[in-house]
Structure 1
Amino acid sequence: MRSDLSILEELGASLAPAEDQPPADVRHRVMTGMRHPVGRPRLLSRLGGVHLAWKIGAPTVAAAAVAAVLVAGQPGGRPTPAPPVPGAGTRAGAGAAPKTPPGAEQVLLLAAQHAAATPTMSARPNQFLFIDSVEVESRIDVKGRTTVSGPLRTRTWLSVDGTHDGLVTQEAGSGKAPTRTHLDGCKNGRQAETIDRPETTPKVACTPEPAYRPGRVPTDADDLLAYVYSVAAAEPEWVSAGAGKDRMPTGFVRLSDDQRAFSEIAEMLYKNHLPAVQQAAFLAASRIPGVQLRHNATDAAGRVGVAVTRTEAGARQELVFNPTTYQYLGHNIIAAEFDLAGAKVVRSPNIGKGSAEFWPGPRPKPGAVIYKSALLRIAIVDKAGQRPG
């Protein structure tokens, strides 16, 4: 049976024209990285615009041995804002639930009010945003079999001003030593090209991405909405419509800009906990067509909440909230029916500055977990690796 290495090489050849082949050193990094994949692809592959060694950007193809997840839905009007929600802070609090269950957009407005009532933590530029979370993720082995890893206790240290080196550790339990992934800061406009090998890869131009200070991410809802749609237009994503017996993709579908904008907000909510950013993100999400409400959603820590969702191309993305306080709990990606009716399927997508991901095997059954992340605590600390008291 062929290895994932040969499959990935064939995939790259089929997606990128011969005259647009990546340099030999880049191809080597991608192939070598596939042998030793690093955890947290969904977070790390987008931190500060840098990549994992096995996930490269334009004009080449980003191919990962994990599932791509997509979302979309139906438009709807904006409801009248509800009264302020009691309770604030970085942990789930108590409060009175509305007598009438709110809809998806109303939940997002309530979540925005909760974020607005959350005190901003004092943070110096050289400090770090500490994020304590639990993750569950689907992985695919060399034979195309899907397994779910986790729950993984994940602790992340992100630079407050985006210029200092951060860190991610993951603990899988069973007495195993935690894995550690270095996050290279954007210093003097330069940053390591790959985050898992900062000492051996070239430095590339970068813009600092502050984790807890105003930066590229706007704090105004209208501006933030425009920002995520600009990302969707500039960095399109494609997902494989299926795989053949040889485990090669049979075609690709481009995600809608609405879905990309929603998924960009989901990514943003993990990395940036500045209350003004989170408030703007929830308000912006309420204006994206297609959000729906799902009750009794469970995050990676087992907490039950209400979820604002969008579904497209075989996956449902969920933003999970405390059903009483509407504090944001985490992000789920759940497998769904892949309906190709009306979809434009292409054999070789025009990647440009975007990326393409695929399942090198059977797609998961509807309802299966693709990815979950539950936020347990956030805090400001002095050093990467330091835990709050």
Structure 2
Amino acid sequence: MGELHRVYDQVPPPSPEVLAEGRARLITLARDGGRRSRRPQRYRGLLAVGLAGTVAAAGAVVVAAQGSDDGPREIRTVSAHEVLTRAAAVARLEPELRPRPDQYLYIRSVVAWGPGKVAPDKPKGQQTRERWVSVDGSKPGLRRAPCPRQRAKVCDTPIPIEDKSAPVPRPGSHLWLVREMPGLLKHWKPQLTAPAPTGTPAPGRPLGSWNWYAAGDLIGDYLPPRLRAQIFEFLADVPRVKVDQHATDALGRPGIGLSQDSDGGRLELVFDRSTYRFLGSRYLDLTPRPVGGDPTDEPESGAGEVKTTVLQVKAVDRLPTRR
């Protein structure tokens, strides 16, 4: 017992993300009626949740090692509805941020691009970016990323207030979404069985026309767990969603991709194959374009394929010192 106590003191407790993944595995097992594969398994994913210091590695092994000892791992066919329904259950278990109106949301993400399309010789690339956005939209924000001309340096770009005349919380801000999202989902629901209108939203109803891209943008940063779950449940009823069981996110992690094509592009939402946790998005440009120069300084512009994965979100009191 003394040895166990010493081990307990030396091993840190599991993170909220690890606990969420463990609960997700329990939910998956329960919804499958407790069925287990008849094939031998070297590892027990649920047991790994109790090993705080090695949970992340053990979880990855479970995904890669399931199946027979000498055969390839089987991927069970799943529908978009099933993936999104389970993703909603997982989202509700995530820890919730409760930022104050005067704070900023700090969002650190990784963006990967390539192969080139507009510029065929453009190499694949990847970079980490940071953003600070006002919780209620009352203050300008900041974007930090490698400089366009000198990638070794970091450049700061102000994020301006789009409409200073709009009341606070301003449209598009975190607090505005928390207030308006349930009504927006209700407003969008009838559009799932009818073509969504094009053009500008009706007065007083920002984001009035639903589309796959709007939902992808909403879940790409941060929403409270209950609202993210509601969006996943809304998307679960969207017809004609393509499923790619060999998708990867910006970090190269394997996942299940759900996508729709619209306006010459494809937006794919990527979920973990094992836990159904949202990993990130992938945009693929399907529009034929003339061969020529890149019209912008953004490194991924014209690449034809861009993947984005959020690495960290937290609430902070102030903007960093400008560089």
Deviations 1:25-50 (A, max 9, x none): xxxxxxxxxxxxxxxxxxxxxxxxxx
Secondary structure, counterpart of 2:239 in structure 1: coil
Deviations 1:347-383 (A, max 9, x none): xxxxxxxxxxx83438xxxxx8522111112111112
Q: Look up the match of 1:377.
A: 312
Q: Look up the match of 2:145.
A: 170
Change (3 A) 1:214 1:311: closer
How far, CA to CA, are the matches of 1:100 and 1:145 in structure 2? 38
How far, CA to CA, are the matches of 1:378 and 1:370 in structure 2? 24
Secondary structure, counterpart of 2:197 in structure 1: helix
Paired residues in the alignment total: 241
CA-CA distance at 1:82 after TM superposition: 4.6
Change (3 A) 1:208 1:164: farther
Sequence identity, in percent? 22
How far, CA to CA, are the matches of 2:195 and 2:226 in structure 1? 20
Deviations 1:292-343 (A, max 9, x none): 211121111222111111235654321011112211111101355x7xxxxx
Q: Look up the match of 1:160.
A: 135
Q: Look up the match of 1:104.
A: 80
Q: Gapped runs of 5+ residues in structure 2? A: 1-29, 34-45, 50-54, 67-74, 201-207, 293-302
How far, CA to CA, are the matches of 1:262 and 1:212 in structure 2? 22
Change (3 A) 1:188 1:263: closer
Change (3 A) 1:139 1:323: closer
Matches for 1:307-386 after TM superposition, within 5 Å: 307-312=257-262, 315-335=265-285, 359-361=289-291, 369-385=304-320
Q: Look up the match of 1:185.
A: 161
Name which one, 1 or 2, has greater alpha-carbon Rg: 2
**Two-structure CA RMSD over aligned residues (Å):** 4.4
Q: Larger relative contact order (C-alpha < 8 A, sep ≥ 6)? A: 1
How far, CA to CA, are the matches of 2:191 and 2:158 in structure 1? 27
TM-score (norm. length: structure 1): 0.51
The one of 263, 270, 282 aligned to 2:213: 263
Is the contact between residue 280 and residue 309 of structure 2 (CA under 8 Å) also seen in structure 1?
A: yes
Matches for 1:64-143 after TM superposition, within 5 Å: 82=31, 100-137=76-113
Q: Look up the match of 1:274.
A: 224
The one of 183, 190, 197 aligned to 1:233: 197
| Counterpart code for 2:197 | A
Change (3 A) 1:232 1:270: farther
How far, CA to CA, are the matches of 1:228 and 1:178 in structure 2? 43
| Counterpart code for 1:267 | D
| Counterpart code for 1:145 | A
How far, CA to CA, are the matches of 1:123 and 1:83 in structure 2? 37
How far, CA to CA, are the matches of 1:150 and 1:224 in structure 2? 39
Q: Gapped runs of 5+ residues in structure 1? A: 1-80, 192-204, 237-256, 339-357, 363-367
Is the contact between residue 116 and residue 124 of structure 2 (CA under 8 Å) also seen in structure 1?
A: no
How far, CA to CA, are the matches of 1:145 and 1:324 in structure 2? 36
CA-CA distance at 1:124 after TM superposition: 0.6
Change (3 A) 1:379 1:298: same
Change (3 A) 1:361 1:217: farther
Q: Look up the match of 2:186.
A: 223
How far, CA to CA, are the matches of 1:334 and 1:234 in structure 2? 21
